[in-house]
Chains A and B, each alone.
Chain A
Amino acid sequence: MAEDLEQPQHRIGAQPDATELLARTPAVIAPGHSFDSVTETIAHTVPSKRTPLGWFLGFGVAFLLLMVMNLTIGKLLMTGIGIWGNNIPVGWAFDIINFVWWIGIGHAGTLISAILLLFRQQWRTSINRFAEAMTLFAVACAAMFPLLHTGRPWLALYWLFPYPNTMGLWPQFRSPLIWDVFAVSTYGTVSALFWFTGLVPDMATLRDRAKTRTTQMIYGMLSLGWRGSARHWQRYEMAYLLLAGISTPLVLSVHSVVSFDFAVSVLPGWHATIFPPYFVAGAIYSGFAMVMTLAIPLRKFYHLEDFITMRHIHNMTKVMLVTGMIVAYGYANEVFFSWYSANPYEGYMMSNRMTGPYAVFYWSLIAINAVMIQLFWFRSVRENIPLLFVLSLLVNVGMWLERFIIIVTSLHRDFLPSSWDMYEPTRWDFGMFAGTIGLFLSLFFLFIRFLPAIAMFEMRTIVPEAKVEQEHHG
């Protein structure tokens, strides 16, 4: 990504050689676009036009899966969490696997919207809006699992938030689980604020383009009466920058705190200092895989190839390669420490992972996350879009398997062989997992139907005519 680092950000258009650089690099936006064409290309997908048939097909499938989730939740509330396969010794299984998996996926959205903004990575502009939407929906899916694992989700808020119970007992602030509540709820809130802030100027555009009174009213209210005043833009840009600065340590903290759920315990395979950085890298890795999974069909079916260019595909692949290698380094570290610690429980944990009943999952995740990603070194792979789509799906599978291995193998055989047991998910476990995929995709389909999937005002800042030629007054 060296060439990107040299590239100045010209959302403000201040750099004198911005246009020249824009012409030289593989293009973050295809040449020949103007304020109007950018706006038109993105905005025409939102209400003013007929809904494409493909949207109904995709949304239909997603909605069916969502109904599977509702069925599962109904069954769960009537029967209890005994319908799931987790039981002592594996008291945590699909709930936490899927929770960590979804939260991790969300991380790429914040990385793109916040960290890449601070690093002035201009290519983030075309993908940040839908990546942030992905974050929100992923956090919503993640939150389902701990809430439903309480068995009585309508009481969960009262159990989780700082409010004393009838005996005056408060949540335990020494526990990573309560840290997790604060981290994830803060993350969800800040991501939503960031996302909405970014949407407001685009809502004003949709308001001004509205063809019917109803859409004008709806987008008008969502735009808060935005009129593009220079005074407003000044504070807006400052707020955007500050939110990015606030979100950057936040996103790093969230998966660190999630990893504390494991690292602070004393279980072999969990009690490891490598966990926070290794979890954060894994989160970004899986998140970029999900962004890729969503971006490839999105740019194809909505004809956004001019905005989500090969440059984006290349860069996302490179981020996946880097973070994937960090994850692979984490695996190597776990193996090393299980030997170097000379602790028999650590040693057994590792040999159980490699040769025990779940070994096939362990080797699959190594095959994907350590071996398969080496393909990303090759330019020919990075340019093969259908292959990349398959690989990004596999990365998501690999990262799910990683969480499965970490959680299940450590729990199912701990210190006392008399308490060892096997874990098997039930169909309700799978129903819940498939259901959250349905929830995620349903929300995403609604998002691309009703809101601009690419930030229009930010895209306008990168077209050549956004550059200001200044006169000089003595």
Chain B
Amino acid sequence: MGDVMAHAEPTLHGLMAEFDNPSALVAAAERARLAGYRQMDAYSPIPIEELNEALGLRRTRLPILVFLGGLAGGLGGYSLEYWTSVVAYPMNVGGRPYHSWPQFIPVTFETTVLGAALACFFGMWALNKLPQPYHPVFNVPAFARASTDRFFLCIEAADPRFERAATWRFLEGLHPVGVSEVAP
């Protein structure tokens, strides 16, 4: 988010408009994008699929991470079984070959699942840069309802087109419940 600092006004994180329903938020996000704003984010108490398009979000890389996690888990599990049974301590069990691959499948399957799940869990939080103890949006008192029944659109000061007065007027024009400044 706030990595383009050139136009940032140091006293302000951005301006935030509050809406009372998801449709208004989606419409507002779409207008803001059409007006040329890019450094912005929407906040909602529920996942809203339409926002991805309205905000022009790219698809997440998470599935690739999960695939790689599963691959690493599967290869790791199978290698562990191979190494312990064939290399580290070969042992004859009922005349079975040291490399009894069909019997190595259940554990390989489980470690694949484990690797994929761990990659999914930690990958998702890492991509989201969470846990994050502090964020400016929490400075807006009304934002406490963002986890219950209110919807917010925040245009950040870092956006090249951001101008305090003009952006304020723009947000007012979206018929929000209210507009507020977000302290950094």
Chain A residues packing against B (C-beta within 8 Å): 11-14, 34-36, 39, 162, 164, 168-174, 176, 178-179, 182-183, 186, 189-190, 193-194, 196-197, 201, 204-205, 207-209, 221, 224-239, 242-243, 246-247, 249-250, 253, 257, 260, 457, 460-461, 465-471, 473
Contacts and interface: CB of A to CB of B under 8 A. Distances in A.
A136 B117 CA distance: 16
Nearest to B124: A239
B146 A173 contact: no
B110 A183 contact: yes
B57 A466 contact: no
Contacts of B113: 186, 190, 246, 249-250, 253
Q: Select the residue from A176, A239, A470 with max chain B CB neighbours within 10 A.
A: A239
By DSSP majority rule, is chain B's interface helix, strand, loop, or mixed?
helix
A239 B66 CA distance: 9
B11 interface: no
Nearest to A168: B89
Nearest to A40: B148
12 contacts: A35-B148, A170-B85, A171-B84, A174-B96, A186-B114, A190-B117, A228-B44, A228-B147, A231-B55, A460-B45, A468-B26, A470-B27
Nearest to B100: A174
A468 B53 CA distance: 13
Contacts of B109: 249, 253
Contacts of B50: 12, 14, 468, 470
A224 B89 contact: no
A451 to B, nearest CB: 15
A230 B48 contact: yes
Contact of A162 (B22, B60, B80, B149): B80
A173 B84 contact: yes
Contacts of A221: 131
A225 B130 contact: yes
A412 B55 CA distance: 67
Interface in B111-126: 111, 113-114, 116-118, 120-121, 123-125
B106 A242 contact: no
A36 B81 contact: no
B125 to A, nearest CB: 7
A180 to B, nearest CB: 9
A233 B23 contact: no
A210 to B, nearest CB: 10
By DSSP majority rule, is chain A's interface helix, strand, loop, or mixed?
helix
B32 to A, nearest CB: 12
A351 B100 CA distance: 37
B51 interface: yes
Given A197-B121, A233-B44, A238-B60, 12 more contacts: A14-B49, A172-B91, A173-B81, A174-B85, A176-B106, A183-B110, A230-B55, A239-B62, A246-B117, A247-B117, A253-B110, A460-B46
B104 interface: yes
B51 to A, nearest CB: 4
Q: Select the residue from B45, B55, B66, B124 with max chain A CB neighbours within 10 A.
A: B45
A189 B135 CA distance: 30
Nearest to B94: A174
B15 interface: no
A369 to B, nearest CB: 27
A474 to B, nearest CB: 11
Given A170-B84, A173-B81, A469 B23 contact: yes
B144 interface: yes
B114 A190 contact: yes
Nearest to B152: A228
Nearest to A264: B103
Contacts of B103: 173-174
B103 to A, nearest CB: 4
B131 A225 contact: yes
A13 B127 CA distance: 26
A228 B45 contact: yes
B47 A236 contact: yes
Contacts of B29: 230
A242 B50 CA distance: 20
A357 B137 CA distance: 70
A237 B149 contact: no
B95 to A, nearest CB: 11
A392 to B, nearest CB: 30
A171 B93 CA distance: 13
B30 interface: yes
Contact of A227 (B70, B111, B127, B137): B137
Given A182-B111, A236-B128, A204 B66 contact: no
Q: Select the residue from B77, B85, B103 with max chain A CB neighbours within 10 A.
A: B103
B30 A173 contact: no
A174 B55 CA distance: 53
Nearest to A228: B43
Contacts of A12: 47-50
Q: Select the residue from B22, B55, B111, B133 with max chain A CB neighbours within 10 A.
A: B22
Contacts of B51: 230, 233-234
A260 B148 contact: no
Contacts of A176: 106
B124 A235 contact: yes
A36 B144 CA distance: 13
Contact of B30 (A247, A249, A473): A473
B131 A234 contact: no
Contact of A208 (B34, B132, B147): B147
Nearest to A203: B147
Contacts of A467: 22-23
Interface string B63-89: 100100010000001001100110011
B158 interface: no
A183 B149 CA distance: 41
Closest 4 CB pairs of A and B: A35-B149, A239-B124, A224-B131, A170-B84
B82 to A, nearest CB: 9
